[in-house]
Amino acid sequence: MRKDTEKIMGGPAAILLLVGLALSAILFYLMFKFADEENLGMVLVTTFLISIIAIAIARSLVSISKYK
């Protein structure tokens, strides 16, 4: 059966996406700041954190869509 996208993208999913967007934007800002300072270690740490956040959001959206 097809799932309705409007039902999936309701309140909890929208809040999750907004929080993820805000965290990713902050981490991208920090990543470029560390890159300007030529701090490779912190650039790698921030890219790792960005990928962890993206994976967590994707898994959360999948679990939300399974329950609806």
Taking the whole predicted model, whether its pTM rises above 0.75 is answered as yes
Average pLDDT over residues 55-59: 92
Question: Would you say the C-alpha torsion 56, 23, 50, 14 has a positive or negative sign?
Answer: positive
Q: Who wins on pLDDT, 54 or 10? A: 54
What residue segments make up the domains of the chain, in order of their start? 5-67
Terminal C-alpha separation, the chain = 12
User: Looking at this protein, which amino acid is placed at residue 46?
Assistant: T
Q: Is the pLDDT of residue 65 over 70?
A: yes
Residue 46: in which H helix or E strand, if any?
helix 40-67
**Over residues 60-66, mean pLDDT:** 83
Residue 1 has a pLDDT of: 44
User: Residue 51 pLDDT > 60, yes or no?
Assistant: yes
